């Protein structure tokens, strides 16, 4: 049951082969069995899940079900879920019971999906390895000594080990695509503004975007259709109709122009990774796609630019955590300043504090022009590189991550080496474009991902391209043996 | 760009973060290496380039200035570390 696609699950539910309650029990059992070793859940919500499953079964019986009704899911613990702890992977919010519901979780609940629980993540979504969580590191199901990637590591692992059919994630610099690549699943970060950020704990508001993490592009198309859309509660959410992503999946790829940025395939790229990506591209060539060498000249500037923009916005966003209205408060504060400093000093972990300090420094008097203004200008140049490329090509392809999963502890002492693991994903957020990662092979028995980048609001094409690739390959169906 | 212990203490104060004395040196080292990475931005001239505030160059939407929120003080105060009579308590600010 746990290896079925969403369409197969929906069919089984409609045909009465199994009920949503049975399906939910099955996944809750798998979470009980495998969850603790993988540490991919912060909170499980069994009672709530069974209530929602009963309601879904009633809807199905009444003939009022949609394609997602009765199907379980897990939410990254960054989405506020009313009445359920929403920790964001931080001690700061360890005691925070969300008083309202995020738009993403609300829409998926309205579609009849059943929430199994909240997944582990890097603290405040700051990290690329899921080691910065207050709740401990998450393990990669392909090798328990390896990281799952981050920040949506718990969601990626829960899907990879088939502890949930799908999970939600958020992506500020690669946090959906990089863990999807490292865990061998499919993940899409939509265009900035496609999905509402309402009720999503803010990290860097001009970059944050939510998306689904799934077993296949087809599943992603189905879930994204239910997540996306205009919401007036997010001032940057774009007022544009949501296309039928499922309807576009079967389009053939003859004549599709694929851009291969020479900067992504330069000397720095690992040989084995180059082989995996070349093999994937060969599949598209066989499907009739045309390969075009392109250039994104400002590629190397993306990581430095991001590490000004994201920390600056994070320092501003996280100033709300003051120990007064919600969240962690230190013991016996001497005065108000002591309350602020110790609540924040004790409530936040090291990586979060580093980023707040970098952002505070970059925004402080006298440094604004040299850092934030400069970064926003470079952001324009990076974005223009993509604009020019999309005049020649329909999609851009390359590796999602420079390497497969590294070991737990390997990069945690050196923040800069960790940051460079997002070198291929970060520019996409700076430009606000949609990007996707699909499983494309294995290196040393660890999954590797192909990144597909599209033009603004061209999610239909990304999903189509990924789906066609998944009709020719079975990398996305591989499940780590221990969890099969 | 190299930050020393005094710089770290100053930034931590601006950000209202307590950093224990034992960790200041490590923060100085890590923050300096991040700033070295950021320094690579200066390799490219950006003279005359418009700063990019929104990926789609959209203006912020406005809405009519009417009350849309309902009073949920009790629900919100459930998460308050110390509340009394509808108020949030903090240490004495004025002597």
pLDDT, mean over chain A? 97
Whole-number pLDDT of residue A268: 79
Tell me the two tokens of residue B83: 């509340």
Q: Is the pLDDT of residue B55 over 90?
A: no
Say if B14 is an interface residue toward chain A (CB within 8 Å): yes
Q: Is the pLDDT of residue A304 over 80?
A: yes
Whole-number pLDDT of residue B62: 86
Tell me the two tokens of residue A242: 């949501």
Complex ipTM, two decimals? 0.95
Say if A300 is an interface residue toward chain B (CB within 8 Å): yes
pLDDT band for position B18 (cuts 50, 70, 90): very high
Mind telling me how many Å the CA of A459 is from chain B's nearest CA? 16
Whole-number pLDDT of residue A14: 96
> Could you tell me the CA-to-CA distances from A362 to A264, A451, B35 in Å, in that order?
29, 31, 10
Q: How far is CA A474 from the centre of its chain?
A: 22
Q: Is the pLDDT of residue B57 over 80?
A: no
Tell me the two tokens of residue A119: 């997944």
Question: If you measure CA to CA, which chain A residue comes closest to B16?
Answer: A341
Residue B5 and residue B32: Cα distance in Å, rounded? 11
| Residue B87: inside a domain | no
A274-298 pLDDT, tens digit each: 999 999 999 999 999 999 999 999 9
| Residue B19: inside a domain | yes
Residue B54 and residue A429: Cα distance in Å, rounded? 11
Q: Could you give the percent of chain A with pLDDT greater than 70?
A: 100
Mean of the pLDDT values across residues A224-229? 97
Mean of the pLDDT values across residues A351-373? 95
Say if A230 is an interface residue toward chain B (CB within 8 Å): no
pLDDT band for position A484 (cuts 50, 70, 90): confident
Q: Could you give the percent of chain B with pLDDT greater than 90?
A: 77
Instruction: Set out the domains of chain A in order of their start, with CATH numbers.
Output: 6-255+394-483 (3.90.1300.10)
CB contacts, 8 Å: A307 with chain B: 34, 37-38
Whole-number pLDDT of residue A370: 92
| Residue B67: inside a domain | no
Mind telling me how many Å the CA of A358 is from chain B's nearest CA? 7
Residue pairs between chains A and B whose CB atoms are closer than 8 Å: 174
Q: Which of A195, A156, A148, A150 is CA-nearest to residue A173?
A: A150
| Residue B20: inside a domain | yes
Residue A214 phi/psi, 5° resolution? Answer: -140, 175
Mean of the pLDDT values across residues A432-441? 98
Contact A100, A91 (CB under 8 A): no
Look at chain B and report how many structural domains it folds into. 1
CB contacts, 8 Å: A377 with chain B: 46, 49-52
Contact A82, B78 (CB under 8 A): no
Q: What CATH number is associated with residue B19?
A: 1.10.20
Contact B19, B8 (CB under 8 A): yes
pLDDT band for position A302 (cuts 50, 70, 90): very high
| Residue B75: inside a domain | no
Residue-number span of the structural domain to which B12 is assigned: 5-42
Say if A282 is an interface residue toward chain B (CB within 8 Å): no
Q: Is the pLDDT of residue B58 over 90?
A: no
pLDDT band for position A396 (cuts 50, 70, 90): very high
Which residue in A305, A307, A341 is closest to B34 by CB distance? A307
Contact A94, A52 (CB under 8 A): no
Whole-number pLDDT of residue B56: 81
Q: Which helix (H) or strand (E) holds A230?
A: none
| Residue B22: inside a domain | yes
Contact A117, A161 (CB under 8 A): no
Q: Is the pLDDT of residue A30 over 90?
A: yes
Residue A155 and residue A152: Cα distance in Å, rounded? 6
Whole-number pLDDT of residue B1: 72
Residue A357 and residue B76: Cβ atoms within 8 Å? no
Say if A417 is an interface residue toward chain B (CB within 8 Å): no
Which residue in B17, B46, B55 is closest to A345 by CB distance? B17
Mind telling me how many Å the CA of A346 is from chain B's nearest CA? 8
Residue A324 and residue B46: Cβ atoms within 8 Å? no
Q: Write the DSSP symbol of residue A63.
A: T
Question: If you measure CA to CA, which chain B residue comes closest to A304?
Answer: B38
Which residues of A are marked as active site? 76, 151, 175
pLDDT band for position A266 (cuts 50, 70, 90): confident
Q: Is the pLDDT of residue A226 over 90?
A: yes
Tell me the two tokens of residue A268: 């720095």
Residue A303 and residue B93: Cβ atoms within 8 Å? no
| Residue B12: inside a domain | yes
Residue A6 or B59, more confident:
A6
| Residue B26: inside a domain | yes
Whole-number pLDDT of residue A285: 98
Q: Which of A372, A368, A357 is CA-nearest to residue A318?
A: A357
Mean of the pLDDT values across residues A222-238? 95
């Amino acid at each position: 049951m746990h290896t079925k696609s969403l369409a197969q699950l929906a069919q089984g539910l409609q045909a009465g082969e199994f009920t949503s309650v049975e399906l939910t029990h099955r996944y809750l059992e798998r979470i009980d069995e495998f969850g603790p070793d993988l540490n991919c859940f912060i909170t499980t919500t069994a009672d709530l899940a069974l209530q929602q499953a009963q309601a879904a079964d009633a809807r199905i019986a009444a003939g009022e079900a949609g394609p997602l009704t009765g199907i379980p899911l897990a939410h990254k613990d960054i989405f506020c879920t009313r009445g359920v702890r929403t920790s964001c992977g931080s001690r700061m919010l360890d005691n925070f019971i969300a008083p309202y519901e995020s738009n993403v979780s609300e829409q998926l609940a309205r579609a009849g999906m059943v929430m199994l629980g909240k997944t582990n993540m890097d603290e405040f979504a700051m990290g690329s390895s899921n080691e910065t969580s207050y709740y401990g590191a998450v393990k990669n199901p392909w090798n328990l000594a390896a990281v799952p990637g981050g920040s949506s590591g718990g969601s990626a692992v829960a899907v990879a080990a088939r502890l949930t059919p799908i999970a939600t994630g958020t992506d500020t610099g690669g946090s959906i695509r990089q863990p999807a690549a490292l865990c061998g699943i499919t993940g899409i970060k939509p265009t900035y503004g496609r999905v509402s950020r309402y009720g999503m704990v803010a990290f860097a508001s001009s970059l944050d975007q939510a998306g689904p993490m799934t077993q296949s592009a087809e599943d992603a198309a189905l879930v994204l259709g239910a997540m996306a859309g205009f919401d007036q509660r997010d001032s940057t959410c774009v007022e544009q109709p949501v296309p039928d992503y499922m309807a576009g999946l079967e389009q053939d790829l003859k004549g599709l122009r694929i851009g291969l940025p020479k900067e992504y395939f330069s000397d720095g790229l690992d040989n084995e990774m180059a082989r995996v990506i070349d093999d994937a591209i060969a599949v598209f060539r066989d499907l009739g796609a045309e390969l075009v060498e392109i250039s994104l000249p400002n590629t190397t500037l993306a990581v430095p630019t991001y590490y000004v923009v994201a920390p600056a916005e994070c320092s501003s966003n996280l100033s709300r955590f003051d120990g007064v209205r919600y969240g962690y408060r230190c013991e016996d504060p001497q005065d108000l300043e002591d309350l602020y400093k110790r609540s924040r000093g004790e409530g936040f972990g090291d990586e979060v504090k580093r980023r707040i300090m970098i952002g505070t420094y970059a925004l402080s008097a006298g440094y604004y022009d040299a850092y934030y203004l400069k970064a926003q200008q470079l952001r324009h140049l990076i974005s223009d590189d993509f604009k020019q490329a999309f005049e020649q090509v329909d999609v851009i392809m390359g590796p999602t991550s420079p390497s497969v999963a590294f070991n737990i502890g390997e990069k945690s002492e050196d923040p800069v080496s960790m940051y460079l693991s997002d070198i291929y994903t970060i520019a996409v957020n700076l430009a606000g474009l949609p990007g996707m990662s699909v499983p494309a092979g294995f290196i040393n028995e660890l999954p590797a991902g192909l990144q597909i980048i599209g033009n603004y609001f061209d999610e239909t094409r990304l999903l189509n391209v990924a789906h066609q690739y998944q009709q020719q390959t079975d990398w996305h169906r591989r499940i780590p043996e221990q969890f099969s | 760009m190299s930050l020393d212990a005094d710089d770290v203490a100053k930034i931590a104060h601006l950000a209202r973060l307590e950093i224990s004395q034992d960790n200041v040196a490590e923060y100085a080292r890590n923050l300096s290496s991040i700033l070295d990475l950021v320094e690579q931005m200066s390799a490219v001239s950006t003279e005359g380039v418009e700063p990019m505030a929104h990926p789609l160059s959209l203006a912020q939407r406005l809405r009519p200035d009417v009350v849309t929120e309902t009073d949920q003080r009790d629900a919100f105060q459930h998460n308050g570390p110390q509340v009394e009579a509808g108020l949030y308590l903090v240490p004495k600010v004025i002597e």
